[in-house]
Amino acid sequence: MSINLIRDISDTSSFWGASWVFGCFPDVHIICDAPIGCYNLLGVAVTDYTDALPHMANLTPTSIREEDVINGTAQALKRTIDDLRRLGHLEGKHLLVVSTAESEMISADHKKYLASLEPEARFFWSQSLEQDEWLGRDRALRFAWEEYGRPFAADIKPQPKRVNIIGPSLGCFNAPADLHELKRLITGIGGEINLVYPYEAGLAATPDLASAAVNVVLYREFGEPLAQELGQPYLFAPFGVLGTTRFLQELGELLGTPQEQISTFINQEKRQTLQAVWDLWRGPQGDWFSAVDCAIVAGRSYVEGLRSFLGEELGMKIVWSSGRPRREGEPDNIEIRKRLHARAPAFVFGSINEKIYLAEANAKASFMIPATFPGPVVRRTFGTPFMGYAGAAYLMQELINRFYETVFNYLPVETVKQDGPPGSPGAPTSAASSDSGARTMAWTDEATTRLDTALKDMPYLARISASRTLRLAAEQAARAHNLTEVTLDVVEATLAVNG
Amino acid sequence: MAEVIPLTSANNPSESFKPGGCKLHPQSMCPAFGALRVLARIEGAQPAMVTDTGCLYGLTFVTHFYAARKSIIAPALGTAELSSGKVQEAANAAIAEAAREPNVSVIPVISLCVAETAGLAEELLPTEVDGKPVVLVRVPAYAIHSHPEAKDVALAAMLRRFIDTGADTPSDEKTVVLLGEVFPADPLMIDGVLRKMGARVLVTLPGRHIDELRLAGHGTAVAALHPFYRESLACMREQGAAVVGGAPIGAEGSAAWLRAVGAALELDEDLVEQVAAEEEQKARDFLATQPLKGATILVSGYEGNEMLYARLLIEGGAHVPYVSTSIGQSMLTASDEAWLRAHGTEAVIYRKSLEDDLQAMDHWNFDLIIGTTTVAAYAKERGIPAMYYTNMISVRPLFMSGGTVASIAVAQELLNRKPMYQQMVDFFGA
């Protein structure tokens, strides 16, 4: 058996995934059978940075200590339940006990013990040592349906026009904005929102999942298995102008919305939400998309959606992408790091990991656009969607604003503060160096070829300015060494400093 | 400084505070993070973490956010690897990968809960790979209990490996090694005062470079500015460094600490007395106005230095009836606890939980709460001015007269913001 290595892990474990699903339900209290670290990282630290929640109020640890590792966690679990009950935290709540990597490591399976303590409570074996957050989320959603939904849903029949949105939960990047857009689209063509599950639902409402005629699964990385269980037709959330239009047509047909109503909504959208896309696409800004490249690291939905909108609808070059869960053939973080160090595209959609790799490579000409976790980023307003028509407009607007930023960053500037050694960017240009810049110098063929190769590796918009900066620096270095022409060695040395 | 707005009156509950409720929600960052933070910030350190994926995700998340922009390597550890005794092989694979990075100065191997439970053996790990030292740091959350104490575990492990042993110190050299992750200006301020007494700060640990760990072996004295560096102090003591107790906090504390340094380094007594008196007077001049008079303040953090901060507030005139921290009680905490109890603090809670703090919030009427994120959020919900302790403490000096002024000023500003808190609660709470 060979050992696989991980660099800066991107997907967390099923314990996290399941807790991020169950934690959405206001009528649930979760006990995680965990040492204090697992509780703190999930319940207090990280969820504050992913979801801007000060803390998960419905999560309590058993606080596994050394003696529990030796003797098992049953006593710790009983004490936790007793204390929670005494303080009234379990009133009106369904109690769920979730295992963690550490409790699984010591085989603390409390299914039977918990049933003897609290017959109404349920034990969720998270399989955290084997499964990632996507499987964890899927299993939690199906567990909720099997335990709290299906047994009570026998008499519930699907209602026309009712639509569930399945998937949005804690730890899902940008969920509030994408969800808001989906609701707008669904109701725009005559659908009625049934349940937003689990994000805006209680566990007690689970049987009502059965009353939707259609399910919209927000993410491709998880949620589909629950939609399959429910048995009604389902669609994935759309991206882009044309992708969203196809979605509206399909959903309209499933809901029995008259074609005229669908067309009216789409036409309205063209004049409102999408007017910006039409104007920017016709304007000079639209030309830039075919001139720049990007890489995408994100959840499966975002990777497919961005590839389709940016790549197929706007003609942007997508040099590579890696989705989550990662598929065979897609780069892992070890490979992503290598690629970004070797050549950074103009735009990188990704997480804090990609941001670190770009920083390590000093790739200042690249823009990192948050598109997934890990990484602290607040995405709690409705104004930052990637999905739907609003997402198309928002993405276009944001990318163009970054083009503007790039242009600004490469315009000449004369700084007031001297903050670097002479010759460095930001330092005042001396009379001598501006004089040397005015004179031309010969370049050997090898030197010219090397500079051209280096420039080709730079993002398009940065090239024009870098070409001038590098040329001047190389010629200055050549003069400093009393050379009559710029040689390959001089270019290499210049690139090592300025590249 | 602006006048303090009217504070709550009649702030003396008739019954005394009885802690001892349940401890459901322990308040500490994951203990292991303390170690990771210290280790990831060392130049050229390439951490290898041995743990499960959920742990790895949470810890790298916070490490990338506020320790270092540094890529972290780990082996994939699942049931298959853990149950078939592959944890050793897995750790070695991660170490080998770490050693392939350019410019590696040290490979800290951070062994966490599942690896410790599986029994990662130190004797089966290499001590170096390609000349790059490998240092094992064991920080299972179930045994370490708090994040400050894990900083000590990490620092002690590094000191044991790198400190210059048997170092000859010139007898006229009077140097102090400071221990504690402090605001960058603090060691400079302390050094400035020590130089007036004929001594200086040699280095402040945990530092950012292996050489700083080596250099620590040349210190004539050591002082833990934060009261949880037990193992690191022991390690320094073994090197022959004299241990200075306490920290230069506030008027009284700074003067006492300077005298203790003077005694440990055998400095000129008259000179030490003169400098200590000067430093005390500077702080007293500021404290004379009693800027926090009448305010009742709760101090609850998980950084391990809460008692120091509480002392400052009390010297500034505040009533601080309750202080809680994540660290355990020890010899190092004794003097601060005694000082606090002699100055009106009724409860000092170690290894505290959210329940302790909430009980205190119900018992007293606080004008200001400086707490963990959770406690501060609950306080804000009640319209009480509140701030996350770590944010408060990490962005300004704390020690000597300079730290006294900076730290008390911010508390006073917060007290004046009561109406701003109230109007938010009036809106959202309705």
Question: Which 3-state string (H, E, C) describes A320-343?
Answer: EEEEECCCCCCCCHHHHHHHHHHC
Minimal C-alpha gap between A50 and chain B (Å) = 10
Minimal C-alpha gap between A84 and chain B (Å) = 8
The pTM assigned to this predicted structure is 0.92
How is residue A157 written in tokens?
A: 């029949």
Residue B320: enclosing H or E segment and its boundaries? Answer: strand B319-324
Would you call A377 an interface residue with chain B, using a CB distance cutoff of 8 Å? no
Residue B25 lies in a domain: no
Would you call B241 an interface residue with chain A, using a CB distance cutoff of 8 Å? no
Do B297 and B275 share a structural domain?
no
Which pLDDT belongs to residue B232? Answer: 98
Average pLDDT value for chain B: 93
Do B209 and B99 share a structural domain?
no
Reference B149, options B246, B43, B34; nearest CA is B34
d(CA B173, CA A239): 69
Nearest CB partner across the interface for A5, out of B22, B28, B94: B94
Residue B151 lies in a domain: no
**Tell me, which fold does domain A431-498 have in CATH?**
Helicase, Ruva Protein; domain 3 (1.10.8)
The CA–CA distances, whole Å, from B191 to A187, A283, B194, B202, B264 equal 67, 61, 5, 9, 16
Question: Are B298 and B368 a contacting pair, CB within 8 Å?
Answer: yes
d(CA A20, CA B25): 18
In percent, the amount of chain B with pLDDT more than 70 equals 95
Nearest CB partner across the interface for B61, out of A46, A69, A360: A46
Which pLDDT belongs to residue B168? Answer: 65
Would you call A55 an interface residue with chain B, using a CB distance cutoff of 8 Å? yes
Would you call A374 an interface residue with chain B, using a CB distance cutoff of 8 Å? yes
Please compute the mean of the pLDDT values over residues B23-49 and round it to a whole number: 95
**Tell me, which fold does domain A278-409 have in CATH?**
Rossmann fold (3.40.50)
* β pairing state of B48-50 and B107-111: parallel
Would you call A62 an interface residue with chain B, using a CB distance cutoff of 8 Å? no
Least CA distance to B95: which residue of chain A? A5
d(CA B222, CA B205): 10
Nearest CB partner across the interface for A35, out of B23, B77, B142: B142
Which pLDDT belongs to residue A407? Answer: 87
**Tell me, which fold does domain A14-131 have in CATH?**
Rossmann fold (3.40.50)
Contact A38 B62 (CB under 8 A): no
Number of domains present in the structure of chain B? 3
Those residues with Cβ within 8 angstroms of residue B239's Cβ, 6 or more apart along the chain or in another chain: B163, B165, B167, B216, B217, B219
Residue B23 lies in a domain: no
Would you call A115 an interface residue with chain B, using a CB distance cutoff of 8 Å? no
Nearest CB partner across the interface for B25, out of A60, A130, A373: A60
Residue B260 lies in a domain: yes
Tell the residue number behind the tokens 């429910």, with chain if given: A230
- Three-state DSSP at A196 gives strand
Do B269 and B296 share a structural domain?
no
* pLDDT tens digit sequence for A244-268: 999 999 999 999 999 999 999 999 9
Q: Is the dihedral of CA A404, A409, A415, A417 positive or negative?
A: positive
Which pLDDT belongs to residue A438? Answer: 58
Residue B239 lies in a domain: yes
How is residue A459 written in tokens?
A: 């993002």
The CA–CA distances, whole Å, from A92 to A85, A203, B88 equal 11, 11, 47
In percent, the amount of chain A with pLDDT more than 90 equals 80
Which pLDDT belongs to residue B158? Answer: 98
Would you call B32 an interface residue with chain A, using a CB distance cutoff of 8 Å? yes
Would you call B81 an interface residue with chain A, using a CB distance cutoff of 8 Å? yes
Question: Are A189 and A261 a contacting pair, CB within 8 Å?
Answer: yes
d(CA B260, CA B237): 16
Domain span at B267: 175-285
Would you call A48 an interface residue with chain B, using a CB distance cutoff of 8 Å? yes
Measured between beta carbons, the chain B residues lying within 8 angstroms of A69 are: 117, 142
Contact A44 B58 (CB under 8 A): no
Which pLDDT belongs to residue A429? Answer: 46
Those residues with Cβ within 8 angstroms of residue A492's Cβ, 6 or more apart along the chain or in another chain: A450
Measured in whole angstroms, the distance separating CA B399 from the mean position of its chain's CA atoms is: 13
* pLDDT tens digit sequence for B166-177: 766 555 689 999
Contact B118 A15 (CB under 8 A): no
Do B421 and B295 share a structural domain?
yes
The CA–CA distances, whole Å, from A380 to A171, A175, A377 equal 12, 8, 9
How is residue B80 written in tokens?
A: 């298959």
Please compute the mean of the pLDDT values over residues A420-427 and round it to a whole number: 50
d(CA A434, CA A222): 59
Nearest CB partner across the interface for B114, out of A12, A87, A102: A102
Top residue of A36, A38, A60, A368 to mutate, by most chain B CBs within 10 Å, is A36
Would you call B357 an interface residue with chain A, using a CB distance cutoff of 8 Å? no
In percent, the amount of chain B with pLDDT more than 90 equals 87
Residue B66 lies in a domain: yes
| Phi, psi values for residue B391, rounded to 5° | -60, -40
Least CA distance to B113: which residue of chain A? A102
Q: Where are the beta strands (DSSP E) in A168-284?
A: 192-197, 212-217, 234-236
d(CA B140, CA B30): 10
Reference A337, options A327, A317, A322, A326; nearest CA is A322
Do B407 and B299 share a structural domain?
yes
Measured in whole angstroms, the distance separating CA B421 from the mean position of its chain's CA atoms is: 29
* pLDDT tens digit sequence for B299-322: 999 999 999 999 999 999 999 999
Which pLDDT belongs to residue B83? Answer: 81
Question: Are B32 and B110 a contacting pair, CB within 8 Å?
Answer: yes
CATH classification of the domain holding B360: 3.40.50.1980
| A114-119: long-range contacts, CB 8 A cutoff, minimum separation 24 | A114/A77, A117/A77, A117/A78, A117/A81, A118/A81
**Domain range summary for chain A, segments of one domain joined by +:** 14-131, 150-272, 278-409, 431-498
Bridge partner residues of A197 (DSSP): A166
Which pLDDT belongs to residue B80? Answer: 86
Minimal C-alpha gap between B293 and chain A (Å) = 31
Q: Is the pLDDT of residue B136 over 90?
A: yes
The CA–CA distances, whole Å, from B372 to A249, B288, B363, B425 equal 50, 30, 18, 20
The secondary structure of residue A482, as a DSSP letter, is T
Q: Is the pLDDT of residue A386 over 50?
A: yes
Contact B114 A101 (CB under 8 A): yes
Do B215 and B249 share a structural domain?
yes
Contact A1 B61 (CB under 8 A): no
Least CA distance to A133: which residue of chain B? B54
Reference A307, options A221, A219, A393, A386; nearest CA is A386
Top residue of A1, A30, A40 to mutate, by most chain B CBs within 10 Å, is A40
Least CA distance to B372: which residue of chain A? A44
Measured between beta carbons, the chain B residues lying within 8 angstroms of A40 are: 26, 28-30
Contact A6 B73 (CB under 8 A): yes
Tell the residue number behind the tokens 């130089």, with chain if given: B195
Residue A477: enclosing H or E segment and its boundaries? Answer: helix A460-480
Q: Is the pLDDT of residue A346 over 60?
A: yes
Q: Which of B144, B163, B184 is the last residue of a domain?
A: B144
d(CA A6, CA B91): 12
Do B411 and B329 share a structural domain?
yes
Would you call B72 an interface residue with chain A, using a CB distance cutoff of 8 Å? yes
Would you call B85 an interface residue with chain A, using a CB distance cutoff of 8 Å? no
Question: Which residues 90-109 of A are in CB contact (within 8 Å) with B?
Answer: 100-102, 104-106
Please compute the mean of the pLDDT values over residues B344-348 and round it to a whole number: 96
Do B183 and B138 share a structural domain?
no
Looking at 3.40.50.2300, 3.40.50.150, 3.30.70.20, 3.40.50.1980, the CATH number of the domain A150-272 comes to 3.40.50.1980
Q: How many CB atoms lie within 10 A of CB B342?
A: 9
How is residue A325 written in tokens?
A: 């869960």
Measured between beta carbons, the chain A residues lying within 8 angstroms of B81 are: 1, 3
d(CA A40, CA A44): 5
Top residue of A2, A4, A9, A355 to mutate, by most chain B CBs within 10 Å, is A9
- Burial class from Cβ neighbours inside 10 Å (0-12, 13-18, 19+) for residue A174 reads buried
d(CA A309, CA A349): 14
Fold agreement (A150-272, A278-409): yes
* pLDDT tens digit sequence for B109-135: 999 999 999 999 999 999 999 999 999
Sheet holding B128-129, edge to edge: A5-7, B73-75, B48-50, B107-111, B132-138, B128-129
Do B416 and B320 share a structural domain?
yes
Q: Which of B241, B264, B285 is the last residue of a domain?
A: B285
Least CA distance to B376: which residue of chain A? A54
Contact A7 B86 (CB under 8 A): no
Would you call A351 an interface residue with chain B, using a CB distance cutoff of 8 Å? no
Those residues with Cβ within 8 angstroms of residue A98's Cβ, 6 or more apart along the chain or in another chain: A15, A18, A19, A22, A30, A31, A32, A33, A124, A126
Tell the residue number behind the tokens 């070059």, with chain if given: A317
Residue B167 lies in a domain: no
Which pLDDT belongs to residue B19? Answer: 75
Top residue of B27, B29, B52, B388 to mutate, by most chain A CBs within 10 Å, is B52
Residue B161 lies in a domain: no
Which pLDDT belongs to residue A428? Answer: 44
Least CA distance to A100: which residue of chain B? B54
Would you call B68 an interface residue with chain A, using a CB distance cutoff of 8 Å? no
